[in-house]
Amino acid sequence: MARMRVVVVDDHTLIRQGIVGLLESQPDIEVVGQAGNGQDGIALAAELNPDVVLMDVSMPGISGLAAAKEIKGRRPDVAVLFLTIHDREDYLYQALRAGASGYVLKGADVNDLLAALRSAHRGEVYLSPAVAKALVGDYLRRSRDADPDASSDGLTEREREILLLIAQGRTTAEIAAELVLSPHTVQSHRDHIMTKLDLHSKAALMKYAITKGLIEL
């Protein structure tokens, strides 16, 4: 099986080299390039066409957020994953709107970072537990205040509940256990949600919540 090809972008040399060393120790990951600023990260993504760009948010010159938007504009198939110290919700929402496939805090466990990279490579969205909790809390606050039909395109209460759990990263089996449903029933609800919203992945569901105003800046 081909290894995941990753470009690492971080303006702190020691941190970047440490991340590169960690990733290169993994049998399924190959670091194909590294950069110390957003502009060079954009250039490397265009030149090398990696599977994932792992990038910081705050960097001199072009920020990681602006670089992500540029990378996704040029190479939509390249996943962008943020690794940052910033746990602010506004940064998280901007990252998702820029097309990011994940948002991991630098204080996270190494296994969280590796799981995030592999999720991004599969086309999924991964959020650090701390930022996921904030995101879901914001969703709940806004959904309680909103007109359900206006904000969720006709989803039923059960479908909205399952949509929320999917956005949290729960698997079908975990959702079934929490809601005391069969996995088949959960999958049927998920299929209905996808059909109603014309969406086809967990990443698309997360972006739906952002763009439809269920979660806002």
pLDDT tens-digit map of 138-156: 655 555 555 544 455 678 8
Nearest to 8 by CA among 104, 89, 92: 104
Question: Average pLDDT of the chain?
Answer: 84
Binned at pLDDT 50, 70 and 90, residue 213 comes out as low
Mean pLDDT of 153-175: 80
Who wins on pLDDT, 196 or 70?
A: 70
Residue range 24-61, pLDDT digits in tens: 999 999 999 999 999 999 999 999 999 999 999 989 88
Strand 102-105 versus strand 52-55 pairing type: unpaired
Beta strands (DSSP E) in the chain are 4-9, 29-35, 52-55, 79-84, 102-105, 126-127
In the chain the domains, ranked by start, together with CATH numbers, are 4-127 (3.40.50.2300), 132-211 (3.40.50.2300)
pLDDT at position 145 = 56
* Amino acid at site 57: V
Q: In whole angstroms, how far apart are CA 27 and each of 44, 53, 117, 210?
A: 22, 18, 13, 35
Which 3 state secondary structure label does DSSP give 127? strand
- The helix or strand, by DSSP H or E, that contains position 152, with its residue range, turns out to be helix 148-152
